[in-house]
Amino acid sequence: MESLSNKKKVLEQKPLSFMERMYLPAIAKGMGITISHLFKKEATVRYPEVEREFSTNFRGMHSLKRDENGKERCTACGLCALSCPAEAITMIAAERKPEEKHLYREEKYAATYEINMLRCIFCGLCEEACPKEAIYLDGPIVPADYLRKDFIYGKDKLVEAPLEMKK
């Protein structure tokens, strides 16, 4: 049948020529190629000691931000938990007491805030949903661990260090 696409190519199997049957020229060529790779730069990154450079929009571990006075920005509105497609975020809200004014920016704050790092898909929808600019995925790679319970990160791991500690 006539080929419509005109892409058909008839392959013919020719018997090997004498030079090809000697194998040696082809082997020498192949050996030359492999030895040239001996002098090329390795693609390997020695991971725990050396880290590959990330792109500028890399999304790593979450951090809960503080404002310029060192108060926690999060008001426990729950929009991040609502927007999370993996349902990785939970929180419990609490009311700020008068003596805690220097700790939390607004009257309501997150008493506990947990992200399950095994559920999280690092899509970044929580940081887009947040009206208070409180959560950003600007951390490093989430480290490996042995137990499932150790992957549920609480406020102790998520909240940014206080201002005086940063300095």
Partner 1 sequence: MDSAFVIEKFILVAVIFGISLVIAMYSTYAERKVAAYLQDRLGPDRAGPFGILQPLADGVKMFMKEEIIPASSNRWLFIVGPGLALLCACIGTAVIPWGSPMEIGGKIVPLQVADINVGVLYIFGVVSLGVYGVMIGGWASNNKYSLLSAIRAASQNISYEIAMGLSVIALLLMTNTLSLKEIVDQQHGLNWNVWYQPLGFLIFMVCSFAETNRAPFDLPECETELIGGYHTEYSSMKLGFYLFAEYINMFVSSAVMAALYWGGYNYPGMDYVAAHLGPTWAPLIGTAVFFGKIVMFIFFFMWVRWTIPRFRYDQLMNLGWKGLIPLAIANIIITGIVIAIIEKF
* Interface residue list for partner 1 (CB under 8 A): 21, 23, 27, 30-31, 33-35, 37-38, 40-44, 46
Q: Specify the residue, 25 or 85, whose C-beta has the smaller distance to partner 1.
A: 25
Whether 130 has a binding-site annotation, put simply, is yes
Whether 30 has a binding-site annotation, put simply, is no
Q: Position 108: which residue type? A: K
What is the distance between the alpha carbons of residues 57 and 136, in angstroms, rounded to a whole number?
A: 11
What is the distance between the alpha carbons of residues 149 and 114, in angstroms, rounded to a whole number?
A: 11
Which segments within 17-131 are labelled E, that is strand? 63-64, 89-95, 108-116
Whether 46 has a binding-site annotation, put simply, is no
Whether 39 has a binding-site annotation, put simply, is no
Q: Specify the residue, 40 or 167, whose C-beta has the smaller distance to partner 1.
A: 40
What is the distance between the alpha carbons of residues 98 and 100, in angstroms, rounded to a whole number?
A: 5
Q: Specify the residue, 33 or 144, whose C-beta has the smaller distance to partner 1.
A: 33
Task: Please name the residue that has the structure tokens 């199997």.
Answer: 13
Residues of each annotated binding site for [4Fe-4S] cluster = 74, 77, 80, 84, 120, 123, 126, 130
